[in-house]
Structure 1
Amino acid sequence: MTIQTLTPARSRLNASYRNLTLWTLQGWIAMFFVAAGYAKLSEPMSNLIDLMRWPALVVPNLVRGLGLAEIILALLVLAPLVSWKHGRPLLVMATSGLLALETVMLALHAVGMDAGPAITNLVLIAMTVPVLWFRAREVR
């Protein structure tokens, strides 16, 4: 077994690729949750019930509050764009909140046998976990 050490230039290049990948994932996550939150805030409840089954099971204020929380967390995912020093802890907190939300919604959709939304949540979890993992390691 041989151990290969990276040159400083190669290490910087790898870090650059990782940073670009993480920012791309953060952008996709933010776009998805801003759109989903906006839909929950602006659409009539009858449309939301037609699109997703679960809004029929809860009070409308919970759906609206969830939409607002999704928008706030999505914007916090992009907080390092404003201030890297202060934005990274907000990013880690926001991705933790979104991961918790995605996990709960995955369980809800799986129990309700909603395959499409369950797969969407699996994809979102697969995008959020690396962002949380690598960005949390940078904060330390």
Structure 2
Amino acid sequence: MVTAALAPLAKRDPETDLATVTNNKSVPLRASSKMASHTFTPARSRLNASYLNLTLWTLQGWLTMFFVAAGYAKLTEPFANLVDLMRWPALVAENFVRGLGVAEIVLAILLLAPLASWKHGRPLLVMAASGLLALESVMLLVHLTGLDVGPAITNAILIAMTAPVLWFRAREVR
């Protein structure tokens, strides 16, 4: 039984055996090799990078618009309206909600900091994206514990938008 199972292994093609190919340099690789890597031309690499950059700037713009609007509402709406719209402001002090609105606006504007200075703005962008991601994660937990399904879904979508911005922009800063 064992020899019958090992028989196909003994008959294998030495050109496809990884140990044979790596240890014996004289065996040429066939064109139909299973392992293939794609090498992009410089033009294609630049095009892919520009698509990524466009996508990230679009996400940054949407996040900025959302958080400027949310922060503005927290700053200007009467506290009673905020309690009616969202349940959680009833659990905290009014100054905390207003401060959170200021923080949202500042972090949102910092998402666009590279527009003013690419050299100095990128670290600010990464800091703002990480601050917004932390804020969104905490608010997701608050909404889930309060069984607020709509705001929880909104926060999950915001996290899905902010995480790639943070990931790819942080890789650029290094």
TM-score, normalising length from structure 1?
0.99
Give unpaired runs (5+ residues) of structure 1. none
Deviations 1:9-65 (A, max 9, x none): 000000000000000000000000000000000000110001100000000000000
Deviation at residue 88 of structure 1 after TM alignment: 0.1
Structure that is richer in helix per residue? 1
CA separation in 2, counterparts of 1:84 and 1:3? 33
Which residue does 1:15 correspond to in 2?
Answer: 49
| Matching residue within 86, 89, 98 for 2:120 | 86
Deviation at residue 94 of structure 1 after TM alignment: 0.3
- Work out which structure has the larger RCO, using CA pairs closer than 8 Å and 6 or more positions apart in sequence: 1
Which residue does 2:105 correspond to in 1?
Answer: 71
**1:136 equivalent in alignment to 2:148:** no
Task: Give aligned-pair identity as a percent.
Answer: 79
Which residue does 1:111 correspond to in 2?
Answer: 145
Deviations 1:65-99 (A, max 9, x none): 00000000000000000000000000000000000
CA separation in 1, counterparts of 2:64 and 2:81? 23
| Matching residue within 159, 167, 171 for 1:125 | 159
Q: Detail structure 1 runs of 4+ shifted over 2 Å in the superposition.
A: none
Give unpaired runs (5+ residues) of structure 2. 1-34
Letter in 2 for 1:27: G
CA separation in 2, counterparts of 1:2 and 1:93? 39
CA separation in 2, counterparts of 1:81 and 1:119? 30
Which residue does 1:30 correspond to in 2?
Answer: 64
CA separation in 2, counterparts of 1:61 and 1:72? 16
Letter in 2 for 1:38: Y
CA separation in 1, counterparts of 2:80 and 2:58? 34
TM-score, normalising length from structure 2?
0.80
Q: How many residues in Structure 1 have an aligned counterpart in Structure 2?
A: 140
